[in-house]
Amino acid sequence: MEKEKFNLTKVKLLPSGGIVADYTITEEVAGEVVVTDYTAAKNNSPHPDLVNALADLKVIVAQVFRFDAVSKVVEDNAEHIKASLLQEVKDTFGEILDGITVRGVSWSGTGQKAGVVITSLFDVGNGTKTAINTPRLRLGAESFGFEEVLTNLLEGIKNEVFAFLFEGKQAQLSLFGEEAVEEEGVLLDAEQ
């Protein structure tokens, strides 16, 4: 499969460790351009590079929902704030980021109207989670200020999903499925 023919429209991490991906393949058949829709559901654990690429979007989610606002105010006034309080705010923002789990991305539109919705879960602190999906973020317009960074992160996700679906790039589990293995700092459960 040629990567240029592949267009990812949706990817979602499954709680069991696999993914579901919607994508199109564009081919020329008998002189006509044919776009075919596909859905792939794989229970294989994705490679940590794909999991981490999705996790990188949690900073975008935090910015959309302004979870970083207090941290920015404190940093802007750092010279007037005690160091212990400054560190406490940084630690709290880190905990907020740790509470965000990006589960998927959906693409829509083309050209200047292209955009995405990032699907996430947020740990509200008492052990429960709530869905926090971003509004549709337009990639061709500068509304949040992170659109270029977001575009680069999304390209990385597309590349990782392609590698998972068509190049066999997945988590390397033990041969006998009896033990967890660590790959690039991510502990993987061999029973997934």
Q: What is the torsional sign of CA 143, 139, 104, 180? A: negative
pLDDT category of residue 158 using cuts at 50, 70 and 90: very high
Which carries the bigger pLDDT value, residue 133 or residue 71? 133
Which carries the bigger pLDDT value, residue 57 or residue 182? 57
**Number of independent structural domains in the chain:** 1
pLDDT above 90 (res 144): no
As beta bridge partners, residue 121 has 101, 131
Percent residues over pLDDT 90 in the chain = 55
- Residue 126: which domain range? 3-188
The burial of 84, by beta-carbon neighbours within 10 Å (0-12 exposed, 13-18 middle, 19 or more buried), is given as exposed
59-68, 76-85, 155-164, 165-174: least confidently modelled range: 76-85
Q: Once rounded to an integer, what is the mean pLDDT over residues 113-118?
A: 96
Phi, psi of 128 (to 5 degrees): -100, 160
Which carries the bigger pLDDT value, residue 76 or residue 30? 30
pLDDT of residue 80: 64
Distance CA 83, CA 90 (A): 11
Distance CA 40, CA 116 (A): 20
Distance CA 48, CA 186 (A): 7
pLDDT of residue 52: 94
Averaged confidence pLDDT in the chain: 84
pLDDT of residue 1: 82
Q: Which DSSP string do the residues of 49-97 spell out, in sequence order?
A: HHHHHHHTTHHHHHHHTTTTHHHHHHHHTGGGS-HHHHHHHHHHHHHHH
DSSP one-letter code for 147: H
Q: Once rounded to an integer, what is the mean pLDDT over residues 2-18?
A: 93
Which carries the bigger pLDDT value, residue 144 or residue 183? 144
